[in-house]
A and B are shown apart, each in its own frame.
Chain A
Amino acid sequence: MSDYSMKNDIEWAKINEDVLASLESPRKAFWVVLGVCFALVLAGAAAEIYQYNNGLGVALMNNPHYWQTYISNFVFWIGMSHSGTLLSAILLLTHADWRKPIYRFAEAMTFFSILTAAIFPIIHIGRVWDMYWILPYPDQRAIWPNFRSPLLWDAFAITTYATSSALFLYIGMIPDLAICRDKAKGWRKKLYTTLSLGWMGRATEWIAFRRTYVLLACFLVPLAVSVHSIVASDFAMSIMPGWHVTSFPPYFVAGALYSGCAAIITLFVLLRYVFKFEAYMTTEIMDKTARLTFAIAMAWNFLNLSEYASIWYSHDMFEHEMLIDKFTGPYAGVVWSMLFCATVVPFAMAFKKVRHNMWAMFWVSLFIQLGMWLERFQIVSPPLASNHEPWTQSVVWPGLIQLTITAASFGWFTMLFLIFCKVFPSVSMYEVKEMVYHRNKHGQKKLQNIDKIKDDMIKTEEGLS
Chain B
Amino acid sequence: MRRRAKHFLFATFDDFEKAIEVISDLKRLDAKEDIISDIELYSPIEHPEVEEMLGEFHQPIQRFSFFGGITGAILGFIFAAGVGQSMFTVQPQGGKSVITIPPDIIIAYEMTILLGVLSTVAAFLIYAGLPRRLKKYYDHTVSVDQIGIEVETDPENNEKVRAVLQRCGALEIREETQ
Q: Could you list which residues of chain A lie within 8 angstroms of chain B, going by C-beta atoms?
A: 11-13, 16, 136, 142-144, 147-148, 153, 156-157, 159-160, 163-164, 167, 171, 174-175, 178-179, 182-183, 197-212, 215-216, 219-220, 222-223, 226, 230, 430, 433-434, 437
Q: Are B62 and A12 in contact (CB under 8 A)?
A: no
From B29-37, B112-120, B156-164, B165-173, the one touching the partner chain is: B112-120
Given A11-B145, A433-B44, A216-B107 contact (CB < 8 Å): no
Q: Are A223 and B84 in contact (CB under 8 A)?
A: no
Q: Decide if B70 is an interface residue (CB 8 Å cutoff).
A: no
Question: A110–B27 Cα gap in the complex (Å)?
Answer: 46
Question: A205–B41 Cα gap in the complex (Å)?
Answer: 10
* Complex: chain B residue closest to A167, CB-CB: B121
Contact of B106 among A212, A230, A433 (CB under 8 A): A230
Q: Are A197 and B42 in contact (CB under 8 A)?
A: no
Q: Are B145 and A12 in contact (CB under 8 A)?
A: yes
Q: Could you list which residues of chain B lie within 8 angstroms of chain A, going by C-beta atoms?
A: 40-47, 50-51, 54, 57, 59, 61-62, 65, 69, 79-80, 83-84, 86-87, 90-91, 96, 100, 103-104, 106-107, 109-111, 113-114, 116-118, 120-121, 123-125, 127-135, 138, 140, 142-145, 148
* Smallest beta-carbon distance A184→chain B, Å: 11
Secondary structure class of chain A's binding surface, majority of residues = helix
Cβ contacts under 8 Å, A430 to chain B: 44-45
Nearest first, the 10 A-B pairs at minimum CB distance are: A12-B145, A197-B131, A212-B124, A208-B128, A198-B132, A182-B140, A203-B41, A197-B130, A206-B46, A208-B127
Question: A174–B143 Cα gap in the complex (Å)?
Answer: 12
Given A12-B44, A215-B61, A205-B120 contact (CB < 8 Å): no
Q: Are A202 and B41 in contact (CB under 8 A)?
A: yes
Question: A223–B142 Cα gap in the complex (Å)?
Answer: 36
Cβ contacts under 8 Å, B143 to chain A: 16, 175, 178-179, 182, 201
Given A198-B131, A216-B120, A142-B86 contact (CB < 8 Å): yes
Question: A147–B86 Cα gap in the complex (Å)?
Answer: 12
Of the A-B pairs whose beta carbons lie under 8 Å apart in the complex, a sample of 7, sorted by A's number, is A198-B130, A202-B129, A203-B40, A203-B42, A208-B124, A209-B128, A226-B110
Q: Are A202 and B40 in contact (CB under 8 A)?
A: yes
Cβ contacts under 8 Å, A223 to chain B: 110, 113
Q: Are A212 and B40 in contact (CB under 8 A)?
A: no
Question: A434–B128 Cα gap in the complex (Å)?
Answer: 20
Cβ contacts under 8 Å, A13 to chain B: 144-145
Contact of A144 among B87, B109, B113 (CB under 8 A): B87
Question: A183–B65 Cα gap in the complex (Å)?
Answer: 34
* Smallest beta-carbon distance B106→chain A, Å: 5
